[in-house]
Amino acid sequence: MAIKNSMTGFTVREYSIPELKEAATLMRGYDLVALCAAGSGHAGGTLSIMDITAALYLRIANHDPKNPKWPDRDRIVWSTGHKAPSLYLGLAFAGFCPLEEVVTLRKLGSPYQGHPHWLKLPGVEVSTGSLGQGLSIAVGIALAGKLNRKDYKTFCIMGDGEQQEGQIWEAVMEASHHQLSNLIGIVDRNRLQIDGKVEEVMNVEPLEEKYRSFGWEVIRCDGHDMQQVVHAFEKATNGFGKPVVILADTIKGRGVSFMENIAGWHGKSPTYDELLKGLIELGLNGRIQVKQLLGKAEQYQAEVEARLNAKMPRFHGDYWWNSRQNMKVKMEPTRKGFGQSLKKNGEDERVVCLGLDISGSITISDFYTSNPERKDRWISMGIAEQSATSAAAGLAKEGKLPVLGTYATFAAARNLDQIRTSVCYGNFNVLIAGAHGGVSVGPDGATHQALEDLFAMCGLPNMTVVVPCDAVETRMATDFLLMKYDGPKYIRFAREATPVVTDERTPFTLGKANVIRFRTEAADFADGFQTVLASDYENENEDLSIIACGPMVPEAMRAAWILKKDFGYEARVLNLHTLKPIDEAAILRAARETGVVVTAEEHQIGALAWRVSSVITETPLLYGVPVITGAIGVKDRFGDSGAPWELIKEFEVSAEHIARKAIELMDVKQTRTLHAERHFDLTPTK
């Protein structure tokens, strides 16, 4: 067993224990460099799994770096996708890819995505990032191995927090039922997850008894003792006639004292100084060409930026946020407003918040952080979105006001049937927060960028869907939904800091859009606009309308500014914060009174665009009235790793793209008007 030449069957290299130890240390060093260059990522878990990675990729697995698709290779599935850098370093050290290229980690277009994508990098077996799915994929691969009478082994690397996902236990059951003796699970048992200690967030122990009772063989080892790790693997691959799991005791952040055993280092990357300190602690001072590697990352980044800038629509001036005097705007993540509302309304004894192990980042923990007495109403559910959703329905049934939230993709897709049947069908009063929506989630990449959640949420009967435009509106919307609205409700907000364009005086009425009009240039961008409830707005015969939701509203406002300054066009911006129920009257008026409608959403095109279109096409009021429409949004593709504002450019969801689309539509409108006038001239009078 080792790195092979698949043509000859010869072993290319077999690492000794001291060589494996040395490789693991070097891999830790390169990991820190790549994370530092990326400016984000997961230091803790990548360091805890590194000895296992070195043993598996350099000594245990049969594979051929020159022939990554060799049918007889052992398969390695990383169910715990956030440890991707360790996977990349395992591949690089085994010779699958150039080591120095791993520093392009998490950058736009890089094969070294924030979470592994097998279609981008040879050697990566499957794409993961949504926890709890890898073991099921591994079951499928192992079943195929048996059906195809192949001898390969399938390894699956998991986290201990990840064991909280119910799907893991479905797969554990399947593997045992089908006697998958060719399947080896590995649990990186570092005892920490995002919200803290696994035993406190949601205890998964005793894992050994659990796996055994499901019919698996269990091997325990110290995951940092290379001899024990290799021995555990060798034992596991010798065959027990049933699936085997290796429970490896590890330390999160292993090797760097200030990262060890600290939950805060879960999703953090080292600064340059921390990197240097870390390398010294690892005994690697001077052994890794840090400057050269960081230089390579910078060069890659410069190329990304040049490419993005070249593809941006051009106007007379640079209208980018805060780029010049009058484009100054305060930026705040929309999610902040969610936490502020929970902090305020949490005093109501009926409010209960369900934690899904991403609590600080989505601000749901603001519910209790300054009010520890509320801790008994803070219900930690672990990484178990499906069960938590149905549990929320149960809480609502008994009169509680349950709130649950996580990344929008796990809050609205992973648990979709639970939302549909447990929550919506029963019409229960549950508030679901889809945090980190859209591509602006950034370097975590496609698996973490919800771009389809609004389709599903808007498609559910009884569901109310709100997509607030900034932090202030998020607070107002949460206040209203939580305290004044009874029924299933979904609020979607973003991760990145986005412009604050509303204030205390801005109206927020559920189901009613606001009209925003550019009036004059002001020192603060937002002060240049006037906002009124759409039903109170009097037609000003604008040239076109832009209908937007979420952080695309500030982009729409900036587009209105560009259109006025560069082209003299007046744009009516509609902030359609409530996608469901939709404000039909405001849409119809915008369509009829301006004749041109551009929609803008940070989502696959359609959640907003098609809903707006259906309002326009279904009403007899607009029969025979020409309305020219265009849509800005993600065009039927998955997301990518990259910096948030780079992704806004890459996926063409910026003000510049809205403005360009608006001009295109205005050209059509003007040509039609001209045509109609000519037609009119030629028509003989009766």
Q: Where do contacts with ligand TPP occur on this chain (CB under 6 A)?
A: 44-45, 48, 80, 82, 129-132, 159-162, 188, 190, 192-194, 252, 266, 357-358, 383, 406, 410, 414
| Helix/strand/coil for 118 | coil
Closest to 418 in 3D by CA, of 450, 383, 394, 447 = 394
CA distance linking residue 249 with residue 231, whole number of Å: 14
Phi, psi of 455 (to 5 degrees): -55, -55
CA distance linking residue 141 with residue 152, whole number of Å: 10
At closest approach, how far in Å is the CB of 432 from ligand TPP?
Answer: 14
Residues facing residue 580 across a β-bridge: 465
At closest approach, how far in Å is the CB of 318 from ligand TPP?
Answer: 37
Q: Which is nearer to ligand TPP, 112 or 518 (CB)?
A: 112
At closest approach, how far in Å is the CB of 192 from ligand TPP?
Answer: 5
At closest approach, how far in Å is the CB of 124 from ligand TPP?
Answer: 17
Q: Which is nearer to ligand TPP, 145 or 223 (CB)?
A: 223
Q: Which is nearer to ligand TPP, 248 or 557 (CB)?
A: 248
At closest approach, how far in Å is the CB of 49 from ligand TPP?
Answer: 7
Q: Which is nearer to ligand TPP, 223 or 243 (CB)?
A: 223
Q: Which is nearer to ligand TPP, 266 or 374 (CB)?
A: 266
Phi, psi of 324 (to 5 degrees): -150, 175
Give the distance from CA 116 to its chain's centroid.
13
Q: Residue 460 to residues 425, 451, 456: CA-CA distances in angstroms?
A: 9, 17, 7
At closest approach, how far in Å is the CB of 357 from ligand TPP?
Answer: 4
At closest approach, how far in Å is the CB of 32 from ligand TPP?
Answer: 16
Of all residues in the shown chain, the one whose CB is closest to ligand TPP is: 159
CA distance linking residue 586 with residue 507, whole number of Å: 15
At closest approach, how far in Å is the CB of 662 from ligand TPP?
Answer: 37
Do residues 390 and 411 touch, judged by C-beta distance below 8 A?
no
Do residues 269 and 35 touch, judged by C-beta distance below 8 A?
yes
> Would you say how long the chain is, in residues?
686
DSSP sequence for 184-231: EEEEEE-SB-SSSBHHHHH----HHHHHHHTT-EEEEEETT-HHHHHH
Q: Which is nearer to ligand TPP, 85 or 499 (CB)?
A: 85
Q: Which is nearer to ligand TPP, 44 or 443 (CB)?
A: 44
Q: Which is nearer to ligand TPP, 46 or 429 (CB)?
A: 46
Closest to 226 in 3D by CA, of 13, 2, 21 = 21
At closest approach, how far in Å is the CB of 552 from ligand TPP?
Answer: 25
Q: Which is nearer to ligand TPP, 34 or 192 (CB)?
A: 192
Q: Which is nearer to ligand TPP, 138 or 358 (CB)?
A: 358
What's 6-43 look like in SS3?
Answer: CCCCCEEECCCHHHHHHHHHHHHHHHHHHHHHHCCCCH
Q: What is the DSSP letter of 539?
A: P
DSSP sequence for 493-521: --SSEEE----TTS--BTTB-EEEEE---
At closest approach, how far in Å is the CB of 125 from ligand TPP?
Answer: 18
